[in-house]
Chain A
Amino acid sequence: MDTTPESPNLSASPKGPSEQSGSGVASSSVPLLSLRGVSKNFGPVQAIQGVNLDVPDGQVTALIGDNGAGKSVLIKTISGIWPPSEGKIFWKGEEVHNHSPRGAAALGIATVYQDLALCDNLDIVQNMYLGREETKFGALDEIKMELATNQLLKDLSVSTVKSVRQLVASLSGGQRQAIAVARAVMRDSRLVILDEPTAALGVSQTRQVLELIRTLSSRGIAVLVISHNLNDVFSVADRIAVMHLGSLVSNGPISDYDTNSAVELITTGHSSRVPTTLAPSS
């Protein structure tokens, strides 16, 4: 079975790292992130099983799939929210042990969760810097953090918030989304994971987030983005990964897909036009 966990360096799977056509960062053919045989169950509920996924550096990978397909569970596993029940995670070809949110952050993985994970009782600046506050002589350097937050929001054209000292509780859904995305971007990350970043956004803010995603990848940062909007996916992604009922059924460059085959994969888990990447799991 080629769902057997194995090192991506030695991988012989069809979409193995050695065959990857790198874009900006062609010097390394090892994917930034690789999953091999990753499963996660909650008691009897098998949320994802046998996922083999490669996320190359500097590219935008879109993760698509129906509601409940396991997309959020997959990215939470990558972000260290919980350890995988089975399987291995590789970062730049090295196996990652004892995966935790802290460890993921240390690797350079920044995640915007579907539920945003903001503290309502803190203001925007405090949320932006949560877990990596700037200090001066051991005390928080509020001015530095506030200035940087102002600058970043300006760079990202987030102009709708009145004051960065506003409590996050007082923000609209779209504003909260924008803050969460900005926070992930700020963190000098190698891989930014976005779980439905545009779901709550208006037209212009959606365009801004997509623009932002392109900016990130042009800076050599890998992006893994979950979206239900195929227009967005085809306008921004370099690669597509499709999940169906907890399995990753297809993973490849965007040129291999069109809207019809993507819809087919999402709804049925296979497509006559696109080769699926996995042997069907037992």
Chain B
Amino acid sequence: MYKSLRQGDSGMVPVVVGLLLLVTYFQIRNAAFLSSGNLVNLFVQATIFILLGMAEIWVLLLGEIDLSIGITSVLGGAVAVILVDPQFHWSWFLALPAGILVVTLIGALYGMIVVRLNVPSFIVTLAGFLAFQGVLIYIVDSQGTGGTIPVHEKVLYNLVYGNLTPLWTWILAIEGVAIMCYRIIKRDINRRASGLVTEPLTYVVVKVVLLVAVGLILAKIFDANRGTFIVLRGMPFAIPIDIGVLVAGTFILTRTKAGRYINAIGGNSEAVRRAGVRVNRYRLLAFVLTGVTGGIGGLLYVSQLNGVNDGPPSTLTLYAIAAAVIGGTSLFGGRGKMIHAVVGGLIIATIYNGMALLSMSASTQYVVTGIVLLAAVTVDSVARRNSATK
């Protein structure tokens, strides 16, 4: 009986094993791979794939797709970079939300066109990919700084390059682990108290132990000095930002009506409509949430790049979709979780980072990422077919 309870989690085991295999491979080839300096670097690289992957999951759940998120998110980032630039000199707490707002409005526009005019989302967002690429190049070039705008503002710069102090790193890690353990245990207690079927106790214990272990290891990695000339310790701000979005997204998806409907629409939208739900409202909402999440990702992107240039990142969208799909989200709607983007994003960042460490060429990286994507989806669909015919 508890097997069905676990259905949701056990699906991720193959991907996590795949990730561990990749990590093992790179560590054998280069002992620096698992150094705290490199791992922190890898996590920061992953944060962007993860955020954009999470952005993509909102629309993928509906059975829709956003082919432009890698461009629109950077466009939002560019707006923030320009607004904090000396010539406009906006304060960061206005400029950063403004950047997110741009991407959100684009998401709302897509949603409106898809929902009201019934145009397939891959066409709408493909058009957006082309058009907003042009807009991005235009606004960057029009600043007259030779096609590159650097970030001079501290907060935006620090999103990726700033760190929590070691003390705060530990506080955050311990608090995070404690809250998650509390939730797992409380859920179990509540279900027991209500006389509902519960997971076996060992399973709960294993989950808690794993959580504590992962939390401590991560805190240790972030706490270690990874500087060469100066002391460099603590968790980069990008990490808690990702975790915050992960928690918020997961909450919306699993604990609110809106999340329930977004899931359900991907399963059978006519059934949802007949249940009296305003389906179009929630489809639009998913596009908006893609925009919000992507907007945050765009800020991290320009922070990491330390600016924005007029050579738009044409592959970023594909990495976002790949992160979601490698993690286990279906391209056809109805199946997806925010955590999928985390695992998928980590896999992509691992390949990216590990291959650079082994000084493999960019061409090899593309090929390998492609193969991993194919392998992940194939393993997934084969596993699914087996369980369906069981």
Interface residues of A (CB under 8 A from B): 79, 81, 101-102, 104-106, 111, 113, 117-123, 126, 130-133, 135, 138-140, 143, 146-147, 150, 162-163, 165-167, 170
Looking at B64-72, B257-265, B314-322, the stretch in contact with chain A turns out to be B257-265
Contact assessment for A163 and B5 in the assembled complex, using a CB-CB cutoff below 8 Å: yes
Q: Please, which residues of chain B bring their CB within 8 A of the CB of A111?
A: 274
Contact assessment for A122 and B263 in the assembled complex, using a CB-CB cutoff below 8 Å: yes
Expressed in whole angstroms, the Cα–Cα distance for A105 and B267 within the complex equals 21
Contact assessment for B194 and A126 in the assembled complex, using a CB-CB cutoff below 8 Å: no
Contact assessment for B197 and A138 in the assembled complex, using a CB-CB cutoff below 8 Å: no
Chain B minimum-CB-distance residue to A162? B1
Chain A minimum-CB-distance residue to B2? A163
Contact assessment for A117 and B257 in the assembled complex, using a CB-CB cutoff below 8 Å: no
Interface 1/0s, chain B 3-35, versus A by CB < 8 A? 011010000000000000000000000000000
Q: Please, which residues of chain B bring their CB within 8 A of the CB of A162?
A: 1, 4
Contact assessment for B274 and A143 in the assembled complex, using a CB-CB cutoff below 8 Å: no
Contact assessment for A120 and B267 in the assembled complex, using a CB-CB cutoff below 8 Å: yes
> Restricting to B179-227, which residues have a CB under 8 Å from any CB of A?
190-191, 194-197
Expressed in whole angstroms, the Cα–Cα distance for A117 and B191 within the complex equals 29
Contact assessment for B196 and A130 in the assembled complex, using a CB-CB cutoff below 8 Å: no
Q: A131-B277, A162-B4 are in contact. Are A119 and B271 (CB under 8 A)?
A: yes
Contact assessment for A121 and B263 in the assembled complex, using a CB-CB cutoff below 8 Å: yes
CB contact between A130 and one of B7, B195, B272 (< 8 Å): that residue = B272
Q: A119-B268, A138-B256, A147-B194 are in contact. Are A165 and B275 (CB under 8 A)?
A: no
Contact assessment for B267 and A119 in the assembled complex, using a CB-CB cutoff below 8 Å: yes
Contact assessment for B267 and A165 in the assembled complex, using a CB-CB cutoff below 8 Å: no
Expressed in whole angstroms, the Cα–Cα distance for A146 and B197 within the complex equals 10
Interface residues of B (CB under 8 A from A): 1, 4-5, 7, 190-191, 194-197, 251, 254-257, 260, 263-264, 266-268, 270-278, 334-335
Expressed in whole angstroms, the Cα–Cα distance for A139 and B190 within the complex equals 15
Q: Please, which residues of chain A bring their CB within 8 A of the CB of B5?
A: 163, 165
Q: A120-B267, A121-B267, A165-B197 are in contact. Are A130 and B275 (CB under 8 A)?
A: yes
7 closest A-B pairs by beta carbon, nearest first, are A131-B275, A121-B267, A119-B267, A121-B334, A117-B271, A105-B276, A102-B276
Q: Please, which residues of chain A bring their CB within 8 A of the CB of B335?
A: 121
A105-B276, A147-B196, A165-B4 known; 7 new pairs, CB 8 Å cut-off, are A79-B274, A118-B268, A119-B268, A121-B263, A121-B335, A122-B267, A140-B254
Expressed in whole angstroms, the Cα–Cα distance for A111 and B4 within the complex equals 29
Expressed in whole angstroms, the Cα–Cα distance for A111 and B273 within the complex equals 13
Q: Give how many A-B residue pairs fall within 8 Å (CB-CB).
A: 93
Q: Please, which residues of chain B bring their CB within 8 A of the CB of A140?
A: 254-257, 260
Contact assessment for B275 and A117 in the assembled complex, using a CB-CB cutoff below 8 Å: yes
Chain B minimum-CB-distance residue to A138? B256
Q: Please, which residues of chain B bring their CB within 8 A of the CB of A165?
A: 4-5, 197
Q: Please, which residues of chain B bring their CB within 8 A of the CB of A163?
A: 1, 4-5, 197
Q: How near does chain B come to A279, taking the closest CB pair, in angstroms? A: 34
Chain A minimum-CB-distance residue to B264? A119
Contact assessment for B4 and A126 in the assembled complex, using a CB-CB cutoff below 8 Å: no
Q: Please, which residues of chain B bring their CB within 8 A of the CB of A123?
A: 4
Q: What are 25 A-B pairs with beta-carbon distances under 8 A?
A: A101-B275, A102-B276, A111-B274, A113-B274, A117-B270, A117-B274, A119-B268, A119-B271, A121-B266, A121-B334, A122-B264, A123-B4, A126-B260, A130-B260, A130-B275, A131-B276, A133-B257, A140-B256, A143-B191, A147-B194, A150-B196, A163-B1, A163-B4, A163-B5, A167-B4
Q: Residue among A81, A120, A130, A167 with the most chain B CB within 10 A? A: A130
Expressed in whole angstroms, the Cα–Cα distance for A153 and B194 within the complex equals 17
Q: Please, which residues of chain B bring their CB within 8 A of the CB of A139?
A: 251, 255-256
Q: Please, which residues of chain A bring their CB within 8 A of the CB of B268?
A: 117-121
Expressed in whole angstroms, the Cα–Cα distance for A101 and B279 within the complex equals 11
Q: Please, which residues of chain A bring their CB within 8 A of the CB of B270?
A: 117
Q: Residue among B1, B5, B267 with the most chain A CB within 10 A? A: B267
Expressed in whole angstroms, the Cα–Cα distance for A106 and B107 within the complex equals 32
Q: Please, which residues of chain A bring their CB within 8 A of the CB of B273?
A: 101
Expressed in whole angstroms, the Cα–Cα distance for A118 and B260 within the complex equals 14
Q: How near does chain A come to B154, taking the closest CB pair, in angstroms? A: 36
Q: How near does chain B come to A157, taking the closest CB pair, in angstroms? A: 19
Chain B minimum-CB-distance residue to A180? B271
Chain A minimum-CB-distance residue to B388? A169
Chain B minimum-CB-distance residue to A111? B274
Contact assessment for A130 and B194 in the assembled complex, using a CB-CB cutoff below 8 Å: no
Contact assessment for B4 and A130 in the assembled complex, using a CB-CB cutoff below 8 Å: no
Expressed in whole angstroms, the Cα–Cα distance for A122 and B264 within the complex equals 7
Q: Please, which residues of chain A bring their CB within 8 A of the CB of B191?
A: 143
Contact assessment for A119 and B272 in the assembled complex, using a CB-CB cutoff below 8 Å: yes
Q: How near does chain A come to B279, taking the closest CB pair, in angstroms? A: 10
Q: A101-B273, A121-B334, A163-B1 are in contact. Are A143 and B264 (CB under 8 A)?
A: no
Contact assessment for A130 and B1 in the assembled complex, using a CB-CB cutoff below 8 Å: no
Q: Please, which residues of chain B bring their CB within 8 A of the CB of A146?
A: 194, 196
Q: How near does chain B come to A127, taking the closest CB pair, in angstroms? A: 8
Q: Please, which residues of chain A bring their CB within 8 A of the CB of B267?
A: 119-122
Q: Please, which residues of chain A bring their CB within 8 A of the CB of B334?
A: 119-121
Q: A101-B275, A131-B272, A140-B257 are in contact. Are A166 and B264 (CB under 8 A)?
A: no
Q: How near does chain A come to B62, taking the closest CB pair, in angstroms? A: 12
Q: How near does chain A come to B336, taking the closest CB pair, in angstroms? A: 10
Q: Please, which residues of chain B bring their CB within 8 A of the CB of A135?
A: 257
Q: How near does chain B come to A187, taking the closest CB pair, in angstroms? A: 10
Expressed in whole angstroms, the Cα–Cα distance for A113 and B270 within the complex equals 11
Q: A102-B276, A165-B5, A165-B197 are in contact. Are A126 and B264 (CB under 8 A)?
A: yes
